[in-house]
């Protein structure tokens, strides 16, 4: 939750422009950085931003979507509400994908957009778009500001709604005349959110049902997701798993919330999860679903998913409970508080038989057999750099250098994203930043810049694919101009790899516009080293396995932004794979 920052009060009863009020309100809510691209309908706000340069940093992206995904990186790395800004019309609509992504992944982000003046609203004025109507279904809340007097209240509400309960994005669409008009701001204006009660604490009676379900279980399984991140419940999850000795499987957004090197961790589950985590969740007689939404990339065929056992579902968002799978034990409440109370309950003398380990010897014997027999694997080569190998070597080098726990990894979307989830192991939350629910290509580079701004002392690396990287490659200019030293490990296979994989598996390898090169005479194409250098960013390319380690170290140690273009074969597939809409029985291993 955003903490109110100390501030120097403005002169008593002095009128201020709406733009000045808006900027001051952001500072009062602890905002230290905004990602903002100006235009006609937002010019007054940008003029106000120049007055507070020492108190609030404004970063100029090279595309509004880039700025929106920088805000994602900042929010996902910190857990605090981030802010991005644009003008009206096309500037504002360039935020739509960012807002939809934030809604799917529960990211607290506030998008402030300029809007035409109130006198011409609805008249199809120059660069007018009805942003509230466009974004109604992809934001947690939305505002069209037509009165300057409402700004202080609206900003206060926006931060409260974005960061409480299940986090989510807010859009504040501010008419231009509202930005210009001067009023005396009411900094103590109360919020007006009737019916909004985002926080609930699970009752003891609900948690006692969970304990009873654990007692009756012989093959329990913890299915933990992004809700663990948002509630800050990683420590409580670890304590709960260690108290009970129950195995833990993680969604793509759950990675890092339970240490990957822990014996109880079965790594990622779902479509490209480990074989053993999917086998375990399929055979479990009790599924403890913690902060998850039973996404189709985890469940596959919904009617067949976890049908052998009882389901406990704990979530802050009541609308998620029973939405996709019926929960035999529904627990509506904050996950961190629920796990803390559950751990306290388990420590009571009456429940001593449930703690200390040893209850699930047969279950763990089976899991260990699966784990030993079906590890994640790939075929090594003599000279070619296999993408899985490149990611694994990056992880090993950082581990050996003692930099692993402080490194933040972002990704684009595609094969490289899933390989990163499989072969780069996380032991801490908020070190893994990726677009999950919406799966947005172009996410990796700008989100890395946002994370690096939030944590300038941490190493931040975007593991990307050539298709995703090209979608927001212009943000290399932001990295250079704003001196943001994020790195890019570019796994370049000249193809839209994940779509190509589906072509190979289900369409007879018929290539339907998934080749990104320009023919053999120009292969490889484009020249990413020249592109990066054109933006002023150092770059290197490698294609021989023997050169990879030195190149990775050069990238890690480079003082500024850096692009490492690694040529990898396009024939590799992300395995294992449960085809969409199918079951564990249909898992593809080779």
| Catalytic residue annotation | 64, 126-127, 176, 498
**Cis amide bond preceding 333, omega within 30:** no
**Cis amide bond preceding 526, omega within 30:** yes
The DSSP code for 507 is S
CA distance 551 to 489: 10
Query: Phi and psi of 272, rounded to 5°?
Result: -120, 25
* Beta carbons of 70 and 97 less than 8 angstroms apart: no
Q: Which helix (H) or strand (E) holds 420?
A: helix 415-423
The DSSP code for 495 is B
Token representation of residue 214? 């654990």
Taking alpha carbons only, the member of 28, 80, 78, 77 closest to residue 55 is 28
Half-sphere exposure of 541 (CA within 13 A, CB side): 17
Give me the count of residues in the chain. Answer: 590
CA distance 293 to 322: 9
DSSP string, 318-374: GGGTTTSS--SEEEES-HHHHHHHHHHHHTSGGGGGGSSS-TTHHHHHHHHHHHHHS
The DSSP code for 118 is G
Q: Token pair 């943001």 is at which residue?
A: 484
Find the distance separating the first CA and the last CA of the chain, reported in whole Å: 45
Helix axes 275-283, 361-373, angle to 10 degrees: 150
Token representation of residue 465? 């694919």
Half-sphere exposure of 206 (CA within 13 A, CB side): 20
């Amino acid at each position: 939750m955003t903490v109110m920052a100390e501030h120097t009060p403005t002169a008593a009863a002095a009128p201020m422009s709406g733009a000045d009020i808006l900027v001051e309100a952001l500072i009062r809510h602890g905002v230290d950085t905004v990602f903002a691209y100006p235009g006609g309908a937002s010019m007054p706000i940008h003029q106000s931003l120049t007055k507070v340069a020492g108190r609030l940093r404004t970063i100029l992206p090279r595309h509004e979507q880039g700025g929106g995904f920088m805000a994602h990186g900042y929010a996902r790395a910190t857990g605090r509400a981030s802010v991005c800004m644009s003008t009206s019309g096309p500037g504002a609509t360039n935020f739509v994908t960012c807002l939809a992504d934030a809604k799917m992944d529960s990211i607290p982000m506030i998008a402030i957009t300029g809007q035409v003046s109130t006198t011409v609203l609805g008249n199809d004025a120059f660069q007018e778009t009805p942003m509230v109507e466009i974004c109604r279904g992809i934001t947690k809340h939305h505002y069209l500001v037509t009165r300057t007097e409402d700004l202080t209240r609206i900003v206060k509400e926006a931060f409260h709604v974005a960061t409480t309960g299940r986090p989510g994005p807010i859009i504040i669409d501010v008419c231009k005349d509202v930005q210009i008009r001067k009023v005396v701001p009411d900094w103590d204006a109360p919020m007006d959110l009737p019916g909004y009660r985002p926080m609930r604490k699970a009752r003891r009676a609900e948690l006692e049902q969970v304990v009873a379900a654990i007692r009756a279980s012989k093959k329990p399984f913890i299915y933990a997701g992004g809700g663990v991140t948002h509630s800050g419940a990683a420590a409580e999850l670890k304590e709960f798993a260690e108290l009970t000795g129950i195995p833990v499987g993680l969604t793509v957004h759950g990675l890092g919330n339970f240490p990957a090197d822990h014996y109880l961790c079965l790594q990622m589950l779902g479509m490209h999860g480990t074989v053993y985590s999917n086998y375990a969740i399929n055979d479990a007689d009790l599924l403890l679903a913690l902060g998850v939404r039973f996404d189709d990339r985890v469940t596959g065929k919904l009617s067949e998913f976890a049908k052998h056992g009882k389901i406990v579902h704990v979530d802050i968002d009541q609308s998620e409970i029973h939405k996709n799978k019926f929960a035999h034990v529904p627990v509506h409440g904050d996950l961190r508080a629920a796990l803390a109370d559950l751990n306290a309950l388990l420590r009571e003398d009456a429940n001593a038989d449930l703690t200390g380990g040893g209850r699930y010897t047969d279950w763990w014997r089976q899991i260990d057999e699966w784990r030993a027999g079906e590890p994640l694997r790939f075929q090594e080569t003599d000279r070619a750099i296999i993408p899985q190998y490149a990611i694994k070597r990056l992880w090993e080098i950082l581990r050996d250098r003692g930099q692993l726990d402080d490194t933040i990894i972002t990704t684009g979307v595609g094969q490289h994203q899933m390989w990163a989830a499989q072969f780069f192991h996380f032991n801490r939350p908020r070190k893994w930043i990726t677009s999950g629910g919406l799966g947005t290509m172009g996410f990796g580079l700008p989100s890395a810049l946002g994370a690096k701004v939030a944590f300038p002392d941490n190493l931040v690396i975007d593991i990307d694919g050539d298709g995703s990287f090209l979608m927001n490659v212009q943000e290399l200019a932001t990295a250079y101009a704003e001196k943001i030293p994020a790195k890019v490990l570019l796994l370049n296979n000249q193809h839209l790899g994940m779509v190509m994989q589906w072509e190979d598996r289900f369409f007879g390898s018929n290539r339907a516009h998934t080749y990104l090169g320009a023919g053999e005479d120009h292969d490889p194409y484009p020249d990413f080293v020249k592109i990066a250098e054109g933006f002023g960013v150092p770059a290197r390319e490698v294609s021989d396995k023997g050169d990879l380690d030195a190149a990775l170290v050069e990238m890690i140690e480079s003082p500024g932004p850096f692009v490492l273009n690694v040529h990898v074969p396009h024939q590799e597939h992300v395995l294992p794979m449960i085809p969409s809409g199918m079951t564990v029985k249909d898992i593809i291993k080779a």
